A = this chain, B = another copy of it.
Amino acid sequence: MPDDRYFLSLSCRNRPGIVAAVARCLFEAGGNIQEAHQHDDIETGMFFARIGFNFVNGDDLETLRTRFADVAASFDMNWTMRSVSQPLRVLVLVSRFDHCLSDILYRWRIGELNMSIAGIVANYPRETYPHHDFNGTPFDYLPVTRENKAEQEEKLWSIIEERQVDLVILARYMQVLSPELARRLEGRCINIHHSFLPGFKGAKPYHQAHERGVKLIGATAHYVTSDLDEGPIIEQDVERVTHHDTPETLVRKGRDIERRVLARALAWHLDGRVLLNGRKTVVFKD
């Protein structure tokens, strides 16, 4: 179809003239800007932008890309330019609790998530999820123990490489990745942590929250780094709880928060709306 949509995401050191140069390049290549977001980080002096565009007179992404490469070089940009209809390849890692997996699969099926599923990897066997229709998506059972962890991570890495995985989702995957794997997946591995970080890092956050007597519980989607629960935060949300809540009801209420926080972070990443800014993120929401 002639009116395909594209986007350009970029970051570079800030200096006058960036927007003028980018806008002129797009205009001269027949691009029409449909949506634009930018952010100037005063502290770090970095500039971030995402521009959604289409072509007025017939698409010619390759010509634009060639021309834009010169602009990008002159500002020393990190940049990505792609069609919205070219989905990322996503690998979903899951443990026993499948509410986030179930939610992602449903949203993917009805077309909410601009991705293809490269596979599902679980540390529980396939029969743990009897009601899920994986539609032929490869399922790999990789149980992890203290002894075989390095070995299983190698298998996982092979899957990521062979299937050209763009993004890994830890959809309540109850294993901590090794620092090496975390580093290899920098900026392309999203975890959902079941607390409002930085509160209640580590294990059993709902039990910690109950113990502390907080009046709201939350969930946090963040990029995985080698520093546990310290990666750049993409999205967070909370819900009100009361003195009546037990750790068990917090777990139940938390499931709803976790799945919507992860779904938003995932959708934004897939649309090139999340840019890394050191230990933080810039999120250009839809």
Contacts and interface: CB of A to CB of B under 8 A. Distances in A.
A75 interface: no
Given A17-B27, A216-B196, A243 B109 contact: no
A231 to B, nearest CB: 10
B244 A286 contact: yes
Contact of A279 (B26, B197, B213): B213
A39 interface: yes
Chain A at the B interface: SS class = mixed
A30 to B, nearest CB: 8
A106 B102 contact: yes
Given A196-B216, A215-B235, A249-B286, A243 B281 contact: yes
Contact of A16 (B31, B38, B48, B216): B31
Contact of A212 (B23, B42, B198): B198
Nearest to A15: B32
A33 interface: yes
A135 interface: yes
Contacts of A197: 199, 212, 214
A94 B133 CA distance: 20
Given A213-B233, A235-B215, A27 B20 contact: yes
Contacts of A42: 246
Contacts of A246: 42
A200 B196 CA distance: 12
Contacts of A77: none
Nearest to A53: B16
Given A131-B109, A198-B212, A233-B212, A243 B16 contact: no
Interface string A251-278: 0100010001001000000000000010
B252 A39 contact: no
A19 interface: yes
A73 interface: no
Contacts of A249: 286
Contacts of A109: 131
Contacts of A283: 215, 242-243
8 contacts: A16-B31, A20-B20, A20-B23, A39-B244, A196-B216, A212-B279, A215-B236, A256-B260
A-B pairs, top 6 by smallest CB distance, nearest first, are A213-B280, A20-B23, A20-B27, A19-B23, A199-B199, A215-B236
Interface of A: 16-20, 23-24, 26-27, 30-42, 48, 56, 99, 102, 106, 109-110, 112, 130-133, 135, 196-200, 211-216, 218, 232-238, 242-244, 246, 249, 252, 256, 260, 263, 277, 279-283, 286
